[in-house]
Chains A and B, each alone.
Chain A
Amino acid sequence: MDSKNFIIGPDDPILVTGATGFIGPKLVESLLRHGFRNLRLFVRPSSDATRLEAVAGQYQDGARVEVINGNLLSEEDCITATRGVAVIFHLATSGDKSFAGAFMNSVVTTRNLLESSLHHTRLRRFVNISSFAVYSNTNKSRWKPLDETSPLETHAASSGDAYRFAKVKQDEIVTEYGEKFGIPYVIVRPGSVYGPGKESITGRVGIDSFGIFLHMGGSNLIPFTYIDNCAEAIVLAGVKAGVEKEIFNVVDDDLISSRRFLSLYKRNVRRFSSIYVPHLVSYALCSLWEKYSIWSRGQLPPAFNRRRWHAEWKSTRYSNQKLKTRLGWAPKVPMREGLVRYFESCRERRHA
């Protein structure tokens, strides 16, 4: 890798929030492997730092890895965390199912981090980790690939998905601070990140909310990105010169269909019953659920609706062209190998 194109040197301090999450430890590992030796990892007091400690322990030679416990809702903690850093990788997000909770732990925390960054002048990049959930996909033709220019969800609140709403608003506030205060930001939107450490099946394949697994994806391609590949893309988005205010979608090459994934999962991890719900039927059911939810004035929450169907279960093609051309990214772990590692981890977890 050509480090001359980097905006920071190996000793410049880097802050990683959400460092104990699924992507966090892998991002830290990737940064250390690239030779960045001054990392500050921000973790919640309630986090389980086992994976992170294991990663940091492997790269002790000359590297300074500082772990800070705190809460991004605390302005004081944010000022401490951002002091003197050159790059911020903002991975922290919320798993809260409520709109207010998700918003508070995604948007208010991001605002605090951006605000505290204004106190320090050394910041050269703020990498905001977003999600494919922010794309609308409603009016897009199924033959047009989903890429960075695709329209964003404008009715996130009515999608019934607190995470989607929070992520849309998080992106908005990052852009706003970039425009108003000149914070040099980059937005990274990973697809479905998979790999060891996350054994659940993405909702794009199907759901098991009703006691049996409903296979919704069918022949749809799933926008998978293996965790190592995703971490590599995030690192590049944080350190490559000349990509300020850019957005990067992260998906791997050789994507497989939902049906193929489910079949491999059953063969390699565990057998279970599933029912395939054809697209026409799933769309009709989502539409029906949405209408009933409105008619019954919320007796059933709008968990299933047409917006969700478009976002998660509509047949869509994906592009990683921008990632490759602008950042020079290439997936180091091919899909085939990624799946082997993932299934192995699932099996180990099951037998643990």
Chain B
Amino acid sequence: MLKVALVGCGKIADDHASQIKKLKGCEIVGVCDREPLMARQLYERFPVRRYFSDLSQLLHEARPDVVHVTTPPQSHFQIARTCLEHGANVYVEKPFTLNTKDAQTLVALAEERGLRLTAGHDDQFSPVARRMRTLINSGYLGGDPVHMESYFCYDLSDPAYARALLNDKRHWVRRLPGKLLQNIISHGVARIAEFLPTDAPRVIAHGFVSPFLGNMGEEELIDELRVIICGEKRTTAYFTFSSQMRPLLHQFRIYGPQNGVVVDQDQETLIKLRGQKYKSYLEKFAPPVGFALQFLGNLTTNVKGFMGRDLHMKSGMQCLIESFYNSIVQNTPPPIPYREIVLTARIMDAIFEQLDARQSLQVRDSRILGVMPLQAHLQEN
């Protein structure tokens, strides 16, 4: 029986506890939060053996085999390192760490101790993402990816939520190096990292404060981001994060030398894009029929999944946790390669460095010029 513990008893911990509860061969031996009331409420609602408010006590007394770190990102590194040092395998919620250096340190420590580590990139384990991986691994693209596009949107249209973030200058999201973006974009970036055949891509980032936030007086929180990522082997990718575009996409497109694939995370659809064209007017008629049949196939798959109790909103998390536990028990590689975790961190670091540098420059320019407010600069550049 695998002994599992959760550190951090906020909203996301509920999702973890719910998924762990469904798995066989494991039990939650302890939950921990430095706020004892939070630890107790999780303990009361789920089958959990004990609750703690001290990490060290949890590790010594409950002796978990696996710890899920579900605290705010600022504490991920420290807690994960402590757990690894105490011999526990660690699942760290996204964003994995605040920077690449910390990610590399954790990976090195896990390898040195013979322990497993994974990041909470659970979107990549949803049923449709798994179907896509199987298809690509079967050689459908016809070679290394030529280009990828990852869309990851976030709904900030609820003024109540936006105000909570905007008016609270002490909000923990503001204290992250990449602020709002750091807390959100890793899912979308990790999708690209999975298929990028290089460890040192070139990253060009452009970000700005949307007019929506700007009109609410926000000058600091960037909620519109466009990124170009170029690999050494000429594989390229675009990453788009937006709070304003509609529809709010969570989509991934990958194009190889022969064929392409489009995956829609929200609709759970996978569409194959045939590289070869039909002759003459047939190109106007055959592909629409093909797409219609593919969408019908997706509908059937989703209905079957729903009827078979297998279309949960958090299917991806369940699969990732199960795969991670299996890798521990069977001593096989972890479900997310460490290379991919570090590469995701590296791309995010590069994005935030550029946005930071540009914002600092624009603040300086606006002070020198004294005529153009930062918001206008950000939108025009």
Contacts and interface: CB of A to CB of B under 8 A. Distances in A.
B133 interface: no
Interface stretch (B6-14, B114-122, B352-360, B367-375): B6-14
A298 interface: yes
A299 B306 contact: yes
Interface stretch (B52-60, B96-104, B162-170, B181-189): B162-170
Contacts of B37: 103, 107-108, 111, 173
Given A45-B168, A71-B168, A107-B37, A299 B42 contact: no
Given A45-B169, A46-B168, A297-B312, A99 B18 contact: no
A235 B168 CA distance: 30
A128 to B, nearest CB: 16
B311 interface: yes
A158 to B, nearest CB: 9
Given A45-B167, A71-B168, A157-B45, A108 B309 contact: no
Contacts of A71: 168, 170
B105 interface: no
Interface in A23-75: 44-48, 71
B41 A99 contact: yes
Interface in B1-36: 9-11, 13-14, 18, 22, 35
Contacts of A296: 309
B19 to A, nearest CB: 9
B9 A48 contact: no
Contact of B41 (A46, A100, A295): A100
A214 interface: no
Given A45-B169, A108-B38, A100 B163 contact: no
Nearest to B315: A299
Q: Range of interface residues on chain A?
A: 20 to 34
A162 to B, nearest CB: 10
B4 to A, nearest CB: 18
A104 interface: yes
B44 interface: yes
Interface residues of B, number: 27
A296 B312 CA distance: 9
B42 A100 contact: yes
Nearest to B18: A298
Nearest to A107: B37
B309 A100 contact: no
A274 interface: no
Contact of B163 (A48, A103, A295, A298): A48
Interface string B266-281: 0000000000000000
Contacts of A297: 22, 309, 312
A100 B13 contact: yes
Given A297-B22, A299-B311, A169 B41 contact: yes
A101 B13 CA distance: 11
A80 interface: no
Interface in A83-136: 95, 98-101, 103-104, 107-108, 111
A249 B38 CA distance: 29
A10 B340 CA distance: 66
12 contacts: A46-B166, A46-B167, A47-B163, A98-B14, A99-B41, A100-B9, A100-B11, A100-B41, A157-B45, A298-B18, A299-B309, A299-B312
Interface of B: 9-11, 13-14, 18, 22, 35, 37-38, 41-42, 44-45, 160, 163-170, 306, 309, 311-312
Question: A-B pairs with the 9 shortest C-beta distances?
Answer: A46-B167, A46-B164, A296-B309, A157-B45, A98-B11, A45-B167, A46-B163, A100-B11, A103-B41
